Structure 1
């Protein structure tokens, strides 16, 4: 079984879009960490970190973040 590269590209685009939308509310450190995880294909870790930071600051999740979570099977 091989991984679908289009699926990973879609996840990356969704997560980068969510990071861009939430970017103004995040510290530079948090943005850098999420971006570095995305650069290395660690989409699940990037998702978890971005979700954690937004929840901690009580910021609503961007649509792209919720969609990425659904694509990864992390949301019902």
Structure 2
């Protein structure tokens, strides 16, 4: 289900989005264990992902990758 929500707009890019689907699954609350799988394994909540604010100090490739990450996460929230 997570991968389907990730790839709703671009189904042919599923391989690129697989790590994000796995991350989202691991930080999501699971009623069967009463916590996220991340917390079950590490004993703490996962670190928060904050929105990227571009600056001129980072290389262009880093800026593009972080902006793409933010866009992917926004799209996922819309489809979930």
TM-score (norm 2): 0.26
Q: Which has the higher helix share?
A: 1
| TM-score normalised per structure 1 | 0.27
